[in-house]
Homo-oligomer: A and B are copies of this chain.
């Protein structure tokens, strides 16, 4: 039996991403974003949605780009911290114990400790209400060699990404392999 729980932002799974930017003074900043995902295949585009009140918001607009960083579950405390503290208060990279590295294709820092990094050029900033949706074209993806499989693909089971659940405000890890996509459903045809 289904029960209405109201008009809420519930969608499972959501990611727990770190967004890397430089401010006007060139200081690297990093913040956590769970409102993010893939929104186009060609050209490859992702987005992160940030509140105007965040320090990173104007940095993305000023620099025209940002990085999306996927950290392994062993960094869940650092990822959570970057969603609590503000870049206005000081150097979040330093206080979180994370290391900024200049990206190659855009003017933004990435997180050295990330398993996967997306370098994104801002293509559109869409005002949706409380949040601005920053759509970015993915110019390059960098991954730690140890998270690649034998075919050079980024293996989620080696990345061990953090999964965020908005309604209960909890983090989870990745679970068991369920099957290959575009394949296990074929038997129903």
Chain A residues with CB under 8 Å of chain B are: 1-17, 34-47, 49, 51, 68, 70, 73, 76-85, 95-97, 116-118, 124, 126, 128-131, 133, 135, 137-145, 148-149, 152-157, 159, 161-189
Residues of B within 8 A of A97 (CB): 188
Residues of B within 8 A of A135 (CB): 128
Q: Is A116's CB under 8 angstroms from B10's CB?
A: yes
CA of A129 to CA of B84, assembled, Å: 35
Residues of B within 8 A of A37 (CB): 11, 14-15, 35-37
Q: Is A179's CB under 8 angstroms from B186's CB?
A: no
Residues of B within 8 A of A81 (CB): 185-186, 188-189
Kindly identify which residue among B7, B80, B185 contacts A179, using a CB–CB cutoff of 8 Å.
B80
What are 30 A-to-B residue pairs whose CB atoms are below 8 Å?
A: A3-B142, A4-B141, A6-B141, A7-B43, A7-B137, A7-B138, A7-B139, A10-B116, A11-B68, A11-B118, A12-B70, A12-B156, A15-B37, A36-B37, A38-B166, A39-B133, A40-B131, A41-B129, A42-B129, A42-B130, A76-B184, A80-B182, A84-B185, A153-B167, A156-B163, A162-B178, A169-B182, A170-B177, A170-B178, A173-B178
Whether A163 contacts B95 in the complex (CB less than 8 A), given A80-B179, A81-B186, comes out as no
- Among residues of B, the one whose C-beta sits closest to the C-beta of A47 is B39
CA of A141 to CA of B12, assembled, Å: 13
Q: Is A140's CB under 8 angstroms from B172's CB?
A: no
